[in-house]
Amino acid sequence: MGEGLIPRRLGFKVGDWVEVRSKEEILQTLDGDGRLEGMPFMPEMFAFCGRKFQVYKQAHKTCDYSVTPFSSRRLNRTVHLETRCDGEAHGGCQAGCLLYWKVAWLKAISGNAGGANVQRVDAHSRGNINADSSEGCRENDVWAHVQVSHTNDGTPTYICQMTQVPYATTPLAWWDLRQYIEDYFSGNVTLRRIFSGFIYSMYYSLHQAGIGVGAATHWLYDKFHPIWEGTLFPRKPGFIPEGKPTPLETLNLQPGELVRVKSHEQILQTVTTANKNRGMYWDAELVPYCGGTYKVLKRVTKLIGERTGKIEEMKNPCIILDSVVCQARYSSCRMFCPKGMYPYWREIWLERVPEESFSASTMSQGHPCLEKTGS
């Protein structure tokens, strides 16, 4: 199965330049189901073959949303490039997931990539099906394993990298300190960010245990959070009692429009004490983006459920913002997950920025509290 293409150890760090191997080379690494070590190579990924990218994150761990409570899982010899799935082969799923790349599918580039114009891209072009690969799997085998062949209800059940996370990984306990060491030495997370995460985790654990709970302790956290590059306490409950209706605002935002994320306090006025607005959860991972100005990337109406593999239609469209991703800064038991999922935003949490009042200097190039990565 092309074992010679699989490196013995992971040598890539954040910022390293790599080239995605050719389609023929990658097919040689795959089994008959189009997978390597349980991880599918998806049809959307063929468009990236032969292209050069910098390593965005080392994917030595990831979140598993297929079970409750959510947990962390360990991966071997895997990285993230700034390449996202466009869902073309998977029912038009709009989640825009960051793709997993096994090291066997990449090759190192010595030094700089010669000034190559490398940017975040989605897969749009598709190569012709070539059923003549003499080793490993064939390209039409990859396409054939996009869906489960037989389902009880007759509706498509999709197979993608996200639905296969439980089968391509092993359990990872949150207290395994080796993962945080790897977070730092891979370049995924700065030492200051790790320190900030542990400060928050310690405070939140005491808070959950009923120790130090009260306005005074929240005030202390909010007062001193700049010291460890944190935000205001991110897990404050909303103001609307459970069972009461939550407000709706329709802006009909379109890709490319500029929006400002409302303040944390304004958003808490729109969610219940369980932090939900019409079923959508206001998560602590969105708090660092409050007050920032961003471009609308897309409107999301459907995505594949990681638990079911089915296309799930949203009752109300939600918004994805460009360059706004989950950083797993405040996610218990899965701290610093590099999965980089796009959070979903209700339109009531956003406000349009009039173009006449906009200047390039006001555009958020990431929030001041966001992680800066590089080699």
List, as one string, the DSSP characters of 251-306.
----TT-EEEEPPHHHHHTTSBTTSEETTEE--GGGGGGTT-EEEEEEEEEEEE-T
13-30 in b/e form (b: 16+ CB < 10 A) is bbebbbbbbebebbbbbb
Least confident of 84-93, 285-294, 325-334: 325-334
234: confidence class by pLDDT, cuts 50, 70, 90: confident
pLDDT at 179 over 50: yes
Report the 3 state secondary structure along 339-366. CCCCCCECHHHEEECCHHHCCHHHCCCC
Q: Are 127 and 336 a contacting pair, CB within 8 Å?
A: no
Predicted confidence at residue 356, as pLDDT, reads: 67
Predicted confidence at residue 363, as pLDDT, reads: 63
2: confidence class by pLDDT, cuts 50, 70, 90: very low
Share of the chain above pLDDT 90, in %: 65
Sign (positive/negative) of CA torsion 270, 274, 280, 282?
positive
Helices 191-208 + 178-185 axis angle, to 10 = 150
130: confidence class by pLDDT, cuts 50, 70, 90: very low
- Give the HSE-up count for residue 230: Cα atoms under 13 Å, Cβ half-sphere: 23
Average pLDDT over residues 193-210: 79
Sign (positive/negative) of CA torsion 318, 321, 322, 328?
negative
Q: Give the residue with greater pLDDT, 17 vs 127.
A: 17
pLDDT at 10 over 60: no
Q: How far apart are CA 123 and CA 169, in angstroms?
A: 25
pLDDT at 7 over 50: no
Average pLDDT over residues 168-196: 94
Q: How far apart are CA 327 and CA 43, in angstroms?
A: 27
pLDDT at 34 over 80: yes
Predicted confidence at residue 8, as pLDDT, reads: 37
Q: How far apart are CA 301 and CA 90, in angstroms?
A: 14
pLDDT at 242 over 70: yes
232: confidence class by pLDDT, cuts 50, 70, 90: confident
The β-bridge relationship of strands 101-102 and 78-81 is antiparallel
Predicted confidence at residue 317, as pLDDT, reads: 92
Cβ count near 183 (within 10 Å):
24
Length, in residues, of the chain: 375
pLDDT at 1 over 50: no
Q: Are 113 and 5 a contacting pair, CB within 8 Å?
A: no
375: confidence class by pLDDT, cuts 50, 70, 90: very low
Average pLDDT, the chain: 85
Domain coordinates of the chain in residue numbers?
3-172, 189-231, 234-362
Sign (positive/negative) of CA torsion 358, 362, 365, 370?
negative
Query: For the residues of 44-108, what is the DSSP string, one character each?
Result: GGGGGTT-EEEEEEE-SEEEE-SSSS-EEEE-SSEEEESEE---TTTTT----PBPPEEGGGEEE
70: confidence class by pLDDT, cuts 50, 70, 90: confident
Q: By CB neighbour count within 10 A (0-12 exposed, 13-18 middle, 19+ buried), where does 114 fall? A: exposed
Predicted confidence at residue 355, as pLDDT, reads: 73
Distances (CA, A) of 82 to 65, 118, 352: 22, 9, 27
Closest among 295, 299, 226, 225 to 261, alpha carbons compared: 295
Average pLDDT over residues 61-72: 87
pLDDT at 124 over 80: no
116: confidence class by pLDDT, cuts 50, 70, 90: very low
This prediction has a pTM of: 0.86
Predicted confidence at residue 134, as pLDDT, reads: 46
Average pLDDT over residues 190-202: 87
Q: Give the residue with greater pLDDT, 137 vs 361.
A: 137
pLDDT at 5 over 70: no
Distances (CA, A) of 369 to 19, 148, 196, 225: 31, 42, 11, 11
Predicted confidence at residue 202, as pLDDT, reads: 78
User: Which residues make beta-bridge pairs with 172?
Assistant: 72
Predicted confidence at residue 360, as pLDDT, reads: 55
CA angle 105, 164, 47 (to 5 degrees): 40
Distances (CA, A) of 175 to 217, 332, 363: 25, 11, 38
> Per the structure block, which two tokens stand in for 234?
């991110």
Predicted confidence at residue 122, as pLDDT, reads: 53
Predicted confidence at residue 68, as pLDDT, reads: 78
Predicted confidence at residue 135, as pLDDT, reads: 57
pLDDT at 118 over 60: no
Please give the class, per CATH, of domain 234-362: mainly beta
Q: Are 81 and 18 a contacting pair, CB within 8 Å?
A: yes
